[in-house]
Structure 1
């Protein structure tokens, strides 16, 4: 059977024939990949083959070059580069010669996938010249130009911009040639405009040159005036991205063209066009919000900002608001909440405008709200309430207070509006009010009618009820914060209040939320999740006089978890398991909330039952992980992650009493620590180690040998995600503090590990890598600090022998602190940890360390952190400075 026939059969309606063909193709790839790829490229090139066969050949070629999974994609790329150059050249030539011979170009994708592999490897150096020639050659057919421009667009979309910046001139030559208004073929012009959209990130050097930038902007602006909707939309998308990337160059164009172009686009009856007009101004707002933050930070440092805001959004406010509010009136009752259209875009844009313009937005929007909030037309009522909710973040809350006081009774009344859309928006807006002015809403004159409206809203349509749940979440924290404030306690996280304004309503609210989680339609509009989240917030923010309700709710949650676990063992399909796992995960998170509020004296009464539930949950999930999924719907449920978090809450609740469960829990804990392919499970298990160390202290010693071996394996394993490694290093600190001198047996390995980790280098041009470096360094500093503190002991007299054992590591520690202090990428959080370690070394080793810590680099670091806005950094720097001065004073005395 020929490959052509197999490709035809791979599209068959007969499932058996289709599967046989696909298996044959995979076998062919496995047995002789080079020959298989050569044949596919020949079939793709041969115009005598049917369209479908050629498309399938291109798809099979793509599957051997590309995968959505990044690690698989890397392996495929490496495999391609091992193919002999002559064979690769033959395949590439066939793909290039195919361009322009298909209606829907599979070759364009094939060329792009090969290019994304070869260009970073310094190969296929003449590709761009060939593609540019295809576009500018007068003899090229429109189909050839279109396919070539698509190939350029695909390459630009998937490749790291750094590998194409040197060829930006050639790429822009081809793209602009295809975009020009003189180009008669609209398909060519569309492909060129889409290619420009994908190439903008590596054309900075072209935008830096006035003449080149002017020409690019002229071509893009002309394309926005094209009668073809597709070209107009793509050109507007280019303007959105240009504003995002090159804001600093836009002043001339904003005045001459961009305002008028986007203003008209926003008013368009064509949704796709209007959407891009709105997106443009949302992007302007986002850029100017970021610039305002940058300007403030620069001012604090006494430096001029790199780029100054031109305040386009504030200047355009009188023109933009009427269009946005009018757009809000075009919603439909049955709009899908997941569909992104002009109405939703207008909502976001109005919210961003409020953050950008501050108090100025109020005067621009308020007339519309006043005119339409009681309109007979539900669309205008809804738009008025939505507009009001949108402007609550940005203006000074004190300036909003009287406005909200006047509007709130009307919005509460609209919770009972005949239109479910208006009810939904009203519930959302009340949540916004609670986030902005929480103290106002919990006043008695508003609270009673609000609670009646919200409780009634829990029985409304799922979409409305979900927003009501969000309002309850905000109300719970607002009421608790008010009670904490009235009690004069500064830290609401650790405060425990006797009563608050919701106490009289607490039990019926919790009961209604529990009912809502069990509603038949709770799966719609994320209602069940929202109800459980509201329940968690109510329990988390419950005062002492609601403790009885909290206890009852704990038993209800535990009973529900048990019922689910009894059912879980009997489920057959992965889809059913996934649904049940989601519910189990929410219940587990709720259990975590109540465990944090249970009295230490009451904890033993439920601990055995909770432990049984959590162990069963963890073991069930470990069994599920080894079962093959029977459909693609089954996703990682997150149950194990939530169970580990709940276990941490139980550890915190029981303290030292958790020791009775360690023997039975240890195998499960070790299994979770070894889950290297499940990053979050591994992370949560490592985090739980810290909780165990703090709760059990020295009593954890019998279990540390096995755990320590796994931690070291995690640090050396290539299969472990790098995000896990800072957490593992931090765990060494917890072990040292718990074990004290008992940590000595691990000391040599840990010190060597920390010295290696502290020398890590990353690509500082990559923000993600810089974040990782700071996390890693912070973890190393915390580990060193834990070791010094653990070996020094808590008494007034340091453990001299133990401290002498790590004295050889003191100088490397000081070098590490100095390196962190000198590195401009170090955050204040990292510098604060460095100050803390420096202080611990000074208190441990005394005057012997004074000559070393008198270095200017340490003085500059301490001075910087004393002025930091990060309170921990400031506190540690002040403490360390005092300790150094104390030692100096003793010396001089």
Structure 2
């Protein structure tokens, strides 16, 4: 036995110390010579005298090393340095072990062979492995057949689809399909074949493009979906689910068959199978809803749900009452509700008549399952249909409120969920004075129920508060009751339940309430600021209270923002900063929510915040240097702008401290895209506050903004790369806001402004073009820049301002429905005519 085999046996020891020692030795052997390590592992895998468990472990380690699952630098290119002799022996040892009579070793060998094949095929080597496995997949020897099918599936899983040629793909698909036919009697082989076909499905695009081949594949899957064996049905429906996700555009040709097998499974099969059948329609609905929301000629919605809506709605309503467990498990009841949700989004009013009839019939039923099902239907159809079609649901609200007070826990949970959904999507149904006065007391009572019910209530309150800002439902009398109810819920003994974190939901609702309530609540908010700071101080040194600390930061951030300017006292600020510092030290890192709270505090203290800069500065420097969290870096970058606005003229004293990190963000290739945009926005604040004091940085700053402006003019289609599209749009808006602040703030640098004016105007005229789909902020800033340039530098800039492009642009917005843009355009035109 080799020494490596001994180490592997030690790794299987029941003694923890022995296992730890073996892991260190294995790592040493691997680092010393990956080639020798893999070669020896392959020999152990192939060696019959060695124990089954040791051989199995050798195969797994060989796979992990070849695929570099731990992402170790020394393994990234090691396979390229392995000698051809070693490679051949490793291949043969692993391949030969596929015939082992011990199943666990065969399965381990399958993983090893597939990992070798992935390395080799991607380098156009060992192409014969496909033919070998395909041949063995047709072998009468069940062990050969099983191992080869599994290995083919493993190879296809994660392999780039361009690596295999058409002949290889066809041979793989055909060999797997042979074991999926009704004539294959071995359940194990058939199950493995369906799993292998799932892994190779990405390669079957050309097969799905050919109608005859597509029909044959669907026929095999359909046969599997009705097989007497439950495991085969499960694997078949998983494959069908992958088919509709990968090849959505071909579903119409087998939509009727898909309906037949899924409907039958939902009505008659075991719950595991029925849920997969429901998920098929859920996936189709998700795809159609996404394509409907972001239409594209290349990827249009195919209308499958519209074609099936009448039959599908009957099926869903038939089965909506099937609650299998009162626990929070996915069952037919929830599956039907999920499909109904996307069906309503896609087909809109087509679902409403049968759903309204169902609700009316069952909302008062004597059977609690039927009442619960009616609640699920209400919560599922609130997005998609027209307001006119949904409005009759408003009649059910008093009954829903009554169900929220039922003895049955499941009914109460569903009622709370339904009200939270209604508050989010159809809040107007709940905000008439009579209805609101019925709903709110019931919600506040339900805050005392189980954490799960109370969490739903918190979300209902969050949605109601956010949606009803304009009609000011949450005035002081209501505010006080909701405020105290949320505080009480947040501090309950069971509020930190892992699955239903009531504390988090309650504080989130509290933050929303503080942000959105009416002005008459401000004094009450101010009176509670000290209490929140004390609560933070009490829990600042405990790492286990991180969620509570984050929540309190959010609440304090909202409170600082709503308090009257300058209300926060020095003592309050000092205690808060001390508690915040203790939290950061305890957690050995800066917390985004804490940084946001500092910004809100600065906004309230204004110039007085200068006293706290020494305490805050190190946190800013620490975070920007680490650059390991986009959200955190963005928050700190935003904080610099917040502080600059707060300090006003005092910012001049710290101009270098503020300018340098922001400009460093723009220079660095490692800076997150979102942080670069925020850096430009914060530079606007610094320039506006410091004005002439930014002079020493102007050359570098202008150069950086110029580079960003050039990059921002790239044309990217939203549907092709939505993240890059959004980044470029945000970048253009940040740059044009910077230019506006630059023109307004640097009166003492008139020559610099005049020199850059042609460049600025050229940028404004470009980004305001329709091809960039500019939002109103672009036009507001462009019009503002035109006004300022005409007003302050008009006669010296006549050549770039009094031109047809600018005149046409001003004329376009003189009749705008946007009052701000119209006013700016009128003023700009007046200034332009005077030069």
TM-score normalised by L of structure 1: 0.82
Query: Structure 1 residues 590, 780: CA separation in 2 closer, same or farther (over 3 Å shift)?
Result: closer
Query: Structure 1 residues 770, 53: CA separation in 2 closer, same or farther (over 3 Å shift)?
Result: same
Gaps of 5+ in 1: 299-304, 484-499, 569-576, 626-638
Verify the 8 A CA contact 1:473 1:534 in the aligned structure 2: yes
Q: Give the alignment of 1:467-616 within 5 angstroms.
A: 467-483=456-472, 500=473, 503-524=476-497, 525-565=500-540, 567-568=541-542, 577=543, 579-604=544-569, 606-616=572-582
Query: Structure 1 residues 658, 85: CA separation in 2 closer, same or farther (over 3 Å shift)?
Result: farther
The equivalent of 1:264 in structure 2 is 264
Query: Structure 1 residues 783, 286: CA separation in 2 closer, same or farther (over 3 Å shift)?
Result: closer
Query: Structure 1 residues 458, 748: CA separation in 2 closer, same or farther (over 3 Å shift)?
Result: same
The equivalent of 1:401 in structure 2 is 391
The equivalent of 2:97 in structure 1 is 98
Residue 660 of structure 1 deviates from its aligned partner by 2.8
| C-alpha distance in structure 1 between counterparts of 2:420 and 2:474, whole Å | 17
Quick check: 1:204 aligned with 2:196? no
The equivalent of 1:641 in structure 2 is 592
Q: Deviations over 1:695-743 (max 9, x none)?
A: 3344323334244444455455565555544433444444333333433
| C-alpha distance in structure 2 between counterparts of 1:373 and 1:281, whole Å | 26
What is the DSSP-based 3-state SS (H/G/I as helix, E as strand, rest coil) of the residue aligned with 1:329?
Answer: coil
Query: Structure 1 residues 403, 791: CA separation in 2 closer, same or farther (over 3 Å shift)?
Result: closer
The equivalent of 2:281 in structure 1 is 281
The equivalent of 1:63 in structure 2 is 64
- Structure 2 residue corresponding to 1:750, chosen from 685, 691, 701: 701
Q: Give the alignment of 1:606-685 within 5 angstroms.
A: 606-621=572-587, 624-625=588-589, 640-685=591-636
Verify the 8 A CA contact 1:603 1:653 in the aligned structure 2: yes
| C-alpha distance in structure 2 between counterparts of 1:718 and 1:93, whole Å | 46
The equivalent of 1:292 in structure 2 is 292
The equivalent of 2:190 in structure 1 is 189
Verify the 8 A CA contact 1:774 1:827 in the aligned structure 2: no
The equivalent of 1:802 in structure 2 is 752
Verify the 8 A CA contact 1:333 1:421 in the aligned structure 2: no
Query: Structure 1 residues 416, 772: CA separation in 2 closer, same or farther (over 3 Å shift)?
Result: closer
Verify the 8 A CA contact 1:372 1:380 in the aligned structure 2: yes
After TM superposition, the structure 1 stretch with the greater mean CA deviation from structure 2, 538-547 or 768-777, is 768-777
- Structure 2 residue corresponding to 1:702, chosen from 653, 663, 672: 653
Residue 526 of structure 1 deviates from its aligned partner by 1.7
Q: Give the alignment of 1:808-819 within 5 angstroms.
A: 814=762
The equivalent of 1:6 in structure 2 is 7
Residue 675 of structure 1 deviates from its aligned partner by 2.3
- Structure 2 residue corresponding to 1:107, chosen from 106, 109, 120: 109
Query: Structure 1 residues 505, 889: CA separation in 2 closer, same or farther (over 3 Å shift)?
Result: closer
Q: Deviations over 1:762-781 (max 9, x none)?
A: 99999899345445534553
Query: Structure 1 residues 611, 842: CA separation in 2 closer, same or farther (over 3 Å shift)?
Result: same
Q: Give the alignment of 1:232-381 within 5 angstroms.
A: 232-255=233-256, 257-294=257-294, 305-306=297-298, 308-335=300-327, 337=328, 339-381=329-371
Quick check: 1:434 aligned with 2:423? yes
The equivalent of 2:39 in structure 1 is 38
Verify the 8 A CA contact 1:200 1:242 in the aligned structure 2: yes
Verify the 8 A CA contact 1:557 1:587 in the aligned structure 2: yes
| C-alpha distance in structure 2 between counterparts of 1:540 and 1:66, whole Å | 50
Residue 817 of structure 1 deviates from its aligned partner by 7.8
Query: Structure 1 residues 130, 528: CA separation in 2 closer, same or farther (over 3 Å shift)?
Result: same
Q: Give the alignment of 1:436-455 within 5 angstroms.
A: 436-455=425-444
What is the DSSP-based 3-state SS (H/G/I as helix, E as strand, rest coil) of the residue aligned with 2:438?
Answer: helix
Residue 563 of structure 1 deviates from its aligned partner by 0.3
Query: Structure 1 residues 794, 712: CA separation in 2 closer, same or farther (over 3 Å shift)?
Result: closer
What is the DSSP-based 3-state SS (H/G/I as helix, E as strand, rest coil) of the residue aligned with 1:331?
Answer: coil
After TM superposition, the structure 1 stretch with the greater mean CA deviation from structure 2, 447-456 or 95-104, is 95-104
Residue 746 of structure 1 deviates from its aligned partner by 2.3
Verify the 8 A CA contact 1:100 1:146 in the aligned structure 2: no
Verify the 8 A CA contact 1:397 1:436 in the aligned structure 2: no
| C-alpha distance in structure 2 between counterparts of 1:540 and 1:682, whole Å | 24
Residue 555 of structure 1 deviates from its aligned partner by 2.5
Residue 143 of structure 1 deviates from its aligned partner by 3.3
Residue 529 of structure 1 deviates from its aligned partner by 1.5
Query: Structure 1 residues 811, 444: CA separation in 2 closer, same or farther (over 3 Å shift)?
Result: closer
Quick check: 1:419 aligned with 2:408? yes
Verify the 8 A CA contact 1:676 1:714 in the aligned structure 2: no
| C-alpha distance in structure 2 between counterparts of 1:150 and 1:834, whole Å | 60
Verify the 8 A CA contact 2:404 2:415 in the aligned structure 1: yes
Query: Structure 1 residues 715, 544: CA separation in 2 closer, same or farther (over 3 Å shift)?
Result: closer
The equivalent of 1:175 in structure 2 is 176
Verify the 8 A CA contact 1:850 1:884 in the aligned structure 2: no
Residue 280 of structure 1 deviates from its aligned partner by 1.2
Verify the 8 A CA contact 2:7 2:25 in the aligned structure 1: yes
Q: Deviations over 1:443-463 (max 9, x none)?
A: 333333323322221221222
Count residues in correspondence: 820
| C-alpha distance in structure 1 between counterparts of 2:673 and 2:83, whole Å | 34
The equivalent of 2:217 in structure 1 is 216
Verify the 8 A CA contact 1:100 1:148 in the aligned structure 2: no
